[in-house]
Structure 1
């Protein structure tokens, strides 16, 4: 299916809008988690089960979405899952009943996992049609959306709209923005009309997925453990220690917007190798330093290194011979999301037996593995 330069340009910005909206929704939910906990009166253990239910929904949807995008196309599945995500965004943050919260959490996870695969598959098709690196900027819009959503969440809660009013408004705005972008989200010919609806990682997808698992494991670890590390190593107060993750997030978002130009200039292999080495050096610095600014710089370096690793892996996954774009992305995303889910509790166990320094120090080796395995990218670029 051929597309004009103008239609591809419009498609690029339309699917970028979808990435931005998805990131904003996740950021809004992150800001509302303490509010939902307080309103439902649940303890930390039950809250952990709610978050695990969201992850379980996403893990179920991701491999299934590979088959759905292959049969019905990435455009249709992106829009369907996007509207479902917008609706559930308006629902999950206004629930007070615990049983309904678990049901909404599972459905929210399903919609997010489905949207993650579908929009990445469509984005990879746009990138292939344009013939120039574009995937990093798509993920940059997701990161920007996350920062925007978290900021809006804080404003909504501060204004007394944390009872679901703010989430409802955000859900409506998300649906309206999706409807506006929909006409310019391009349809590409489905790759496998009769393919399986369940795609497990295998072959090249397995190798790419394991690297995604390592990168997502680092991201997941920083969400839960970066502030604690800063408190233990630098003596920072809790509010100040939280800036470590902000340094990581801002550096990642900025570097993703520069990533496409970097890939064009230096090549995917070099960007992947340098990204892995930066992740290793940044985490090692953060673990060993006892100075706040140096540790924060280490977290920023992790963000710079990790910024373009996942976009490169997803782009390569979409071009695996014999697999549709959706199936390849689904396989890699499933393993990657597994790393995001499993890393924090595993590291917590290691920290309980040794220390958080030992746990994160061991995780820093993930960057070296990514750098040494970067040649897998060359086979699918």
Structure 2
């Protein structure tokens, strides 16, 4: 592999991370539009979102075997095509039954792409010999922000009836087609353990840490604005800035993450990341001042930014496991945390308060910091 080909491979897989994030952002912006178009209530919408999650959770553990058999490049492109195709269909449907089918397939495409592109990215990182995974995840975060902004623009122009969705999906597909020839091929890992199995050993440890980190992210999506309103008395529009502060800080710190890891080492970055998550969430929970709480949420984003990239990178290097199998195990457990955290915290909050629920979750940062040695063992 020559340096130019590795450079092209890096930017190609970065483009796919960007497109994946943009697709998620576009869908998030269209959720209320789709709900209104089909005239469905909140309970039905929740079932649609759960169907997406079910498709992702089904696909993730299976991708370990698929990437080992057919390679990370092929599975990245196949799942990318499925993801972009279902994105346009999902946002433009007018039939409820078809919406559930599209939601499931969209989830399958997203879950499969998540594993395959991370596995390919870890192979590119290994081939380059320098930390790169954080920047890949930075492009995903950037894509989410751009996708949400584009979705808002499309809807604001009156194209929420499906025209904008189709145009956005076509643009995404064109970008995927442009990146596809430059996604690097790596020989499939037939000899490594690649079939689906319950995570254990290093995979289980890494997966549980991913679960905790994703749990924090999932909780902030649903509960950050409510916490800001309860603790600081902020208006709804201002309270929503809490999650924006988290997202922007995370995206920015991910682009700086590779240099930080190269300079300070992965273990130190993970220790400081966990501590920042703990201090940030504790600050957001305890403070009654708007700016201080917003700074707390930004600190959570700074801390969490490089934890998942480090965990995924370590998962791809577990001895005896293929890159795809390791990433699949960790991603499945992590995604489970993303799904379970909001309702579990909601149950706790219903019997106490949002402050207590998120205060308990802040301990996740301490657990991550104290468990950082697992990264060093997989380096």
With normalisation by structure 1, the TM-score equals 0.98
1:323 to 305, 321, 324: 321
Alpha-carbon distance in structure 1 between the residues aligned to 2:271 and 2:194: 34
Query: In the alignment, is the contact (CA less than 8 A) between 2:214 and 2:335 conserved in 1?
Result: yes
SS in 2 for 1:274: helix
Q: Deviations over 1:341-367 (max 9, x none)?
A: 000000000000000000000000000
Write out aligned runs for 1:1-381 (5 A).
3-192=1-190, 197-381=195-379
Alpha-carbon distance in structure 2 between the residues aligned to 1:327 and 1:378: 20
**Unaligned 5+ runs, structure 1:** none
Alpha-carbon distance in structure 2 between the residues aligned to 1:40 and 1:210: 38
Query: In the alignment, is the contact (CA less than 8 A) between 2:19 and 2:172 conserved in 1?
Result: yes
Query: In the alignment, is the contact (CA less than 8 A) between 1:63 and 1:200 conserved in 2?
Result: no
Alpha-carbon distance in structure 2 between the residues aligned to 1:162 and 1:316: 41
Quote the offset at 1:200 in angstroms. 3.0
Aligned residues: 379
Alpha-carbon distance in structure 1 between the residues aligned to 2:190 and 2:182: 23
Q: Deviations over 1:152-178 (max 9, x none)?
A: 000000001111111111111111111
Alpha-carbon distance in structure 2 between the residues aligned to 1:163 and 1:177: 23
Q: Flag the 1:197–1:40 CA change in 2: closer, same or farther, 3 A.
A: farther
List structure 1 segments (4+ residues) > 3 angstroms apart after TM superposition: 193-197
SS in 1 for 2:288: coil
SS in 1 for 2:92: coil
Query: In the alignment, is the contact (CA less than 8 A) between 1:199 and 1:330 conserved in 2?
Result: no
SS in 1 for 2:160: coil
Alpha-carbon distance in structure 2 between the residues aligned to 1:193 and 1:36: 46
Query: In the alignment, is the contact (CA less than 8 A) between 2:193 and 2:320 conserved in 1?
Result: no
Alpha-carbon distance in structure 2 between the residues aligned to 1:15 and 1:7: 12
Moved more, 92-101 or 240-249: 92-101
Q: Deviations over 1:309-356 (max 9, x none)?
A: 000000000000000000000000000000000000000000000000
Alpha-carbon distance in structure 2 between the residues aligned to 1:88 and 1:199: 28
Quote the offset at 1:195 in angstroms. 5.6
Q: Deviations over 1:40-81 (max 9, x none)?
A: 111111111111110010000000011100100000000000
Quote the offset at 1:199 in angstroms. 3.8
Q: Flag the 1:365–1:195 CA change in 2: closer, same or farther, 3 A.
A: closer
Alpha-carbon distance in structure 1 between the residues aligned to 2:193 and 2:68: 7
**Unaligned 5+ runs, structure 2:** none
Query: In the alignment, is the contact (CA less than 8 A) between 1:280 and 1:302 conserved in 2?
Result: yes
SS in 2 for 1:322: coil
Quote the offset at 1:196 in angstroms. 5.2
